[in-house]
Structure formats: C-alpha cells, structure tokens
Structure 1
Amino acid sequence: MEEKHIKYYSHHLDRDVEMLVFGSWGYPILLFPTTLGRYYQAKDMGLIESVKNLVEQGKYKIYCIDSIDADSWYGRHLNPEYRVLNHIQYDKFLTNEVVPYIKHECQVDKIGVAGCSFGGYHAANFAFRHPTQVAYLISMSGAFDIRGFTDGFYDDNVYFNNPIDFMPNEQGWRFGHIKIVLGTSEWDICLDSNLKLSEILNRKGIDHWLDIRGWKKHDWPLWNEMFPDYLSRLL
C-alpha cells in the first residue's frame, strides 16, 4: 500500500500542517482523527490496515489530516469565542486548501469525509456545512452537539458549526446526493447523539443509514470493524 507524507505551511492556520495519504488512486476519503488526534493516528490504531485491501485495489485513496482541536474546541486555555474562531479558520483551511488539492489530485468534483468519535463530528459538520463539496459521509460514534465545549458562550458561529442546531432549519434537498452513514452501537457513549441526528435527518427527508451494532464499546475495535464494511458498500 503506497504511503505518502505531506507537510506544508497553511496560510489560514498560520502553521505547518501534515497529512498522510494512503493509496495511489481511487475515490478520495478525507479522514479526521479522534479528539486531539494527529494525522498518523488512523495508521497507528489499525484503521488504515482495516481497509488495506480496498486501498490496494485502487477503490479508495485515504487522506489522513491533522486536527487543531487543542486550539479550538478543546482549547480550555482560550476564551470560548476564540475557540470557535479558530475552528472557523480550520474550516477555511479545509475548504480552501485541503479539499481543492484532493479534488484536483483525484480529478473529482466531490470527496468523501469520515471520522471516528470527535472525528465523526468533524466529518459531519463539514459535510452538512459544505454539501456541494461532499458525496459520502461516514461518521463512526460521532457526537453532534458542540455546545458542551463553549462554556455557555453562543453566537452565530457556534450555531453554524453545531449540526444539532442548524440542520433542523436546512432544506433537505441540499443533501439528497450525499450517501450518509451514522455508525454507532448499543454500548456506544454517543448512541443517543446518533439517534437524535438520525431523527433530525428523517424529519428533513434526508436519506441515511443509521447502523447500530450490538454490544461493542466506543473504541477502535468497533471502528476498525465498521470502516471496511462501510467503504465496501459505498461505491
């Protein structure tokens, strides 16, 4: 399996960022790490190995991106207003730097996004904020209400990065082209969050697959089981 390391300076983030890319061709999946995770986490925790055959067959190309969680939602050293503003810069970094690069390299007009746990939030939030950029969304054990990270602070920037808030007011037809998977389990600490988001999507007429697996915990063995299954069904 081909592996490539990318490091470059982001003008939106004003820092160097790094990414691991797996595969030489295939449909692109932008993969977000879990809470405070780095670009190499998915490799270290076996998630990339779980989809090795699909990557080697040229069906998918996986782009593992860095997070800036420590300076955004998990930046407890910062005023909540600045945590949100830093996340907005991260969104601009994705929208204006990362996604155009991926689309150009893979010659596609839309990409797939995926993530586990807090990475599931990032994937869902990006897909719902930018539906014209996304064809596939895979959230594994994600949570979708960001208000617990803002210490009571709330403004339009929080609203438009909180899927539980803004999706009930969206027009469902805007998301009809996205194949959406919400993966969770009976023992998942984020089960209720997935049930709530699924209910919102149902009310908006947005087709999706809510996959509730039995008696497995919110951890890598569950996600390493889910990810190859979901990718094998998408294309």
Structure 2
Amino acid sequence: MDKKNIVCTSSILGADMHVITYGKKGLPVVVFPTQGQEPESLEEVGVVDELADYIDSGVIQLFCTETVDDESWGGQGDPAERAARQESYYHYVVDELVPLVNKVSKSGARPLALGFDAGATQASIVALRRPDLFQGCVCLSGCYDARRYFGDWMDATLYENTPCAFLPNMTPEHPYVAVYNQRQLLFCTGQEASEADSLRSTRVMDEQLARLGVEAWCDYWGADVAHTWFWWKKQLRYFLPIVLADVEKTTAAEKPAKKRATTRKKAAAPKAAAAEKKPAAAKAATATKTTAKAAAPKKAATTAKAAAKPAAKKAATTTKATAAKVAAAPKKVAAKPAAEKTAKAATPAKAEKPAAPAKAVKATAPAKATKAATPAKAVKPAAPAKATKAAVPAKATKPATPAKATKPATKGKATK
C-alpha cells in the first residue's frame, strides 16, 4: 500500500498540519480522527486495514488530517477564542486542505468527508457548509450540537459550526437544499448509553433534514452498539460500498452535460475541417474544369472520329457529326458555322411535311450527300434558297405517277 506523509504549512492556523495519504488514486476521502488524536491513529486502530481492498484497488484514496480539537471543542479557555479557533480550522480545511487533496489526487472529484466522534462533527460541518466542495459525508457517532462542548454559550462564530443550530433556521428554498440532495449525507449512531449525545443530536439532524426535503441517511443501530472502534469499523465496512455506489450514480448524472459539451466541440471540429476542405475542393473542381476545357479539343477530336462512323449509318445524326467535325478542324471554324446555318436553312419546316413518304426520304438521302462531298462542297450547292426549294418539294417527287406528271397547272402553283 502506498503511504505518504505530507506537511501542510497552514497560514490560517499558523502551524504545520500533517496529512497522511494512503493509496495512489481513487475517490479522495478526507478522514478526521477522533478528538485529540493524530492522523496515524487511524492506521493504529485498524481503519486503514479495514479499507485496504478499496485502497489497493484504486477505488478510494485516504487523506488523514490533523485537527486542533484540543484548542476548540476540547479546550478549556475563553469560549470565544475556542469558537474562533474552530472557525480557523474550518477555513484551513476548505481553503488549504481541499486544494492540497485536489492537487495530490488529480482525480478532479469532490472529496468525501469521513469522521468518527469529534471527527464526525468536523466532517458534517465542512460538508454542510460547503457542499460545493465536498461530495458528502459519512459521520459515525458524531455530536452535532455544540452544547456538548460549550454548554449554553453561543455566538455567531460557534453558530456557524453547529449543524443543530443553523439547520433549523434554514428554509426549504435555500439554494443548498438542492445541492444536499445531490450529495451523500450519512449519519449513523448506536443506541447504547455511551452514544447518548450522538443519538440525541442525530435525531435532530434527521428531523431538520427531513423538514427541508433532503434525502439524508440517518441510521440508528441497536442498544448494544457502543461508542467504540469495534462498531465504527463494522459500520464503515457496511456503509462504504453503498455510499460509493451512490456517489458513482450521482456523479454519472453530471457527466452527460460535460459529454454534450465535449461532443459539440468534437462535432464542430469536423464541420470546421469540412469548411476548410470546401475551398480546396472548389479549387480542385475549378482545376478539373480548366483541365477539362484544355483537354476538350483533343477529346472532341477523338469523339469526332468515333462519331463519324455512326453518322454514316444514321442520317438523323448528321448534324451532330458535322458539329464534331467543326471542333476537330479549328481552321475552318469560320466556314463551318455558315455551313451549319445553311444546313438549318435548307431543312425548313416544309421539309418535315413531305418527309412522311418513305420514298421521299430515300430520294433525298442527306447522309449520302454528306459522304459524296466535303462539308464545304455541300455548302456551295445548298447556299441558294431556290435550289433547295426545287429539290425538296413533294410535288417534284410525285411525277412518278404518269397522270400527275403531265399537269402543268400543278407547276404553276408550285411557282406561286
């Protein structure tokens, strides 16, 4: 088992406070010994051995601290000075010890406060006054009423360190009430005569926490359960696994919010990366288009050659083949557009009307005309509109019938 002795020089208390750590990782547990005892006493009475399996497996890490109970709760001097000393000890814990625990544990978890006898009193004070810093408390046989140590004397400072005094004045609307319900608050006592002060004050705590709507666990063991280490170790062994499971459940409920924030950041990163990639993709697309344009003449030439063969077989694709040839021969660009315009002029809507007879299509066979002459030659005879009209009219094809061929009147109408 890993054990370290740390000296915390407290500017608040004006003294060196000894802290003994057990374990390397896990949920940090700040342990307060019984009144007037040193941190080593917890190991001597067997508490550390009782929790060895939790410590060695990295479930918990103990931080056993020193106290000043002999100057506060157990002191015999001026009550105001004793109360002030207790308040200083409280500030030592929350302002100096907790940061030290966080630094050493590196777990980022809120520590759990654990105490026995007067140590349970200290554990309850820090957990109830600063639930934002502590995950909760496990208090065994503590007395939460200062009258045990101060009688009927009370001032504002002692009031702040007396749970049985400030809880009755807390309202259900107090912001700490909601936080208490997200913490593990356990108070246990036996009912044997030596537990009289603990039993009485635990019942007050139970009543007040219930009034506030806080789901704290106040447990009362039998009449044979005395104020001794024998029972505290049994209680600790019984309660700890339950409390740890509840801590894990409670803290797990806090994780989704953190995960959502992390997920959003992770989701935003790919989007940002995608946004950065878009310009590159756009540039790539532009480069592709530019390359495609640059390569267009070569591709057009290849396409023209490939398209020339189907054009010879299908008369309907003559115009497309001609366009491909225009792309293949850039020198004759000026002449071929004229040819295309002429070709379009040579095939007016009138040419579509007489195209119904199959014989007329065979007679005109524009595809053969294209084969017989180059596009330039096709332009020359087709240029005059009159020549086109003489070759295309359907009536010129009809002379195949003798009776109709001898009618001059029909030609007169054609001239009109």
State if a TM-score over 0.5 links the two structures. yes
Indicate the SS of the match to 1:63: strand
1:65-214 aligned within 5 A: 65-76=65-76, 78-106=77-105, 107-170=107-170, 171=174, 172-187=177-192, 188-189=195-196, 190-214=198-222
Task: Flag the structure with higher helix content.
Answer: 2
Return the offset for 1:174.
Answer: 3.4
Summarize deviations over 1:76-112 as a string: whole Å, max 9, x none.
0x21000011111111111111001112332325210
CA contact (8 A) 2:27 2:109 kept: no
Structure 1 distance, partners of 2:71, 2:119, is 15
Give 2:366's aligned residue.
none
Task: Flag the structure with higher strand content.
Answer: 1
Return the offset for 1:38.
Answer: 1.2
Structure 2 distance, partners of 1:81, 1:158, is 8
The 1:199/1:26 distance shift into structure 2, 3 A limit, reads same
Structure 2 distance, partners of 1:94, 1:3, is 21
Summarize deviations over 1:142-188 as a string: whole Å, max 9, x none.
11001332354321111111100101223222311111111112213
Runs of at least 5 residues in structure 2 that lack an aligned partner in the other structure? 245-416
Give 2:236's aligned residue.
227
CA contact (8 A) 1:2 1:22 kept: yes
Runs of at least 5 residues in structure 1 that lack an aligned partner in the other structure? none
Please tell me the residue identity of whatever aligns with 2:83: V
Indicate the SS of the match to 1:133: coil
Give 1:13's aligned residue.
13
Indicate the SS of the match to 2:132: helix
Structure 2 distance, partners of 1:142, 1:221, is 16
Structure 1 distance, partners of 2:15, 2:6, is 14
Please tell me the residue identity of whatever aligns with 2:21: V
The 1:151/1:169 distance shift into structure 2, 3 A limit, reads closer
Indicate the SS of the match to 1:218: coil
CA contact (8 A) 2:8 2:16 kept: yes
Return the offset for 1:20.
Answer: 1.0
- TM-score w.r.t. structure 1 length? 0.95
Structure 2 distance, partners of 1:48, 1:217, is 21
Structure 1 distance, partners of 2:209, 2:102, is 27
Please tell me the residue identity of whatever aligns with 1:223: W
CA contact (8 A) 2:8 2:19 kept: no
Structure 2 distance, partners of 1:33, 1:118, is 8
Please tell me the residue identity of whatever aligns with 1:202: A
Count of aligned positions: 234
Indicate the SS of the match to 1:114: strand
Indicate the SS of the match to 2:143: coil
Please tell me the residue identity of whatever aligns with 2:6: I
2:24 corresponds to 1:30:
no
Indicate the SS of the match to 1:12: coil
Summarize deviations over 1:184-220 as a string: whole Å, max 9, x none.
1221332222122111111111111122222221110
2:221 corresponds to 1:216:
no
- TM-score w.r.t. structure 2 length? 0.54
Structure 1 distance, partners of 2:154, 2:208, is 21
Structure 1 distance, partners of 2:229, 2:157, is 31
Indicate the SS of the match to 1:145: coil
